[in-house]
Amino acid sequence: MRQFSATVVSNISLCRDLYRIDFAWDARAVGPAPGQFFTVRVSDSTVPLLRRPFAVSGYASDTRTASAIYQRRGRGTDLLAARQAGERLDVIGPLGNTFPPPKNSQRCFLAAGGIGLGPVLYLARHLVRDGRDISLVFGARTSAGVPAAGTFDGLSPAVCTDDGSQGFPGSAIDYLNTLEPGTFQDTVLYACGPMAMLKEYHAIAATHQCPCYVSIEQVMACGVGACMGCAIRVTTEATYARVCTDGPVFDSGVIVWT
């Protein structure tokens, strides 16, 4: 990991709720892999104080351009959305672990909800480039949370909306439950989204006895494993794991789901 001052390449709105920022990744830093994240100091004021973490949603190693898909949720992401091309961004990355690759024969089922889109999209592109057979499902509350088709470049996700305003009417979980049980044979599940959704994926995976990797969010202070602030409960002897360094990707079987 490195701390660097990155130049913003572009920062655009993808749909009402989502934005994408592209910036130049530092040449001396390792390129980010699917599952990894970075933190940004969004303001030089003391409000907001803490850096904000975002998952990498794509990385072009030729141009060294990294991107993230984010939602405006509060002051930090408001300030991020105000950054314009050419401006600077104080970035630390790459942080965290990566999605484990599927076994040779395994098919990959990828599921993203809301702001979980970024890391799942990056993983999807990565797997497709490796010639893997993937299925992608993306769930949002309403069509306002669904970016234009171009965002998925070439991938064709099953889009679900809770209010039925676009694609499958219902959650991504509801959608999965409509699929034939055979779908999950020799399959590995990858998911990122709200905790409640991840818990359901874990349950589905357990039912079908397929491995399931989830990318978790937790409020962070340091992002590098030093403060013990981003703990989540795990089933191992350690009791707690740090999302920033032991994760953000975990085998769903290790998490204590509450």
Ligand X SMILES: Cc1cc2nc3c(=O)[nH]c(=O)nc-3n(C[C@H](O)[C@H](O)[C@H](O)COP(=O)(O)O)c2cc1C
Is there binding between residue 218 and ligand FAD (CB under 6 A)?
yes
The DSSP bridge pattern shows strands 212-215 and 249-251 to be antiparallel
Q: Using CB under 8 A as the criterion, what x/- string covers residues 73-112 for binding another protein?
A: -----------------x-x--------------------
Q: Using CB under 8 A as the criterion, what x/- string covers residues 9-48 for binding a second copy?
A: ------------------------------------xxx-
Element (H, E) at 129: helix 117-129
Strand order in the sheet with 65-71: 52-55, 37-41, 88-95, 2-13, 18-24, 65-71, 58-60
Is there binding between residue 51 and another protein (CB under 8 A)?
yes
Closer Cβ to ligand FES, 52 or 126, answer by number = 52
Decide: 10 and 68 in contact? Cβ < 8 Å.
no
Two tokens, residue 81: 């959305």
Query: Of 1-9, 59-67, 162-170, 218-226, which segment contacts ligand FAD by CB under 6 A?
Result: 218-226
Is there binding between residue 227 and ligand X (CB under 6 A)?
yes
Query: How far, CA to CA in Å, does 82 sit from each of 11, 25, 54?
Result: 8, 20, 16
Query: Of 68-76, 96-104, 139-147, 221-229, which segment contacts ligand X by CB under 6 A?
Result: 221-229
Is there binding between residue 89 and ligand FES (CB under 6 A)?
no
Q: How far is the CB of 28 from ligand FAD (least distance, A)?
A: 23
Query: Of 17-25, 41-49, 61-69, 147-155, which segment contacts another protein by CB under 8 A?
Result: 41-49
Please state, in angstroms and rounded to a whole number, the distance separating the CA atoms of residues 81 and 103: 39
If contact means CB under 5 to 8 A according to the sort of partner, which of another protein, ligand X, ligand FAD, none does residue 226 touch?
Answer: another protein
Number of residues that bind a second copy (CB under 8 A): 4
Beta strands in the chain (DSSP E): 2-13, 18-24, 37-41, 52-55, 58-60, 65-71, 88-95, 107-113, 134-140, 158-161, 168-169, 187-192, 212-215, 231-233, 240-242, 249-251
Map tokens 């920062």 to a residue. 11
Contact residues toward another protein (CB under 8 A) are 1-3, 41, 46-51, 90, 92, 218-233, 238-240, 245
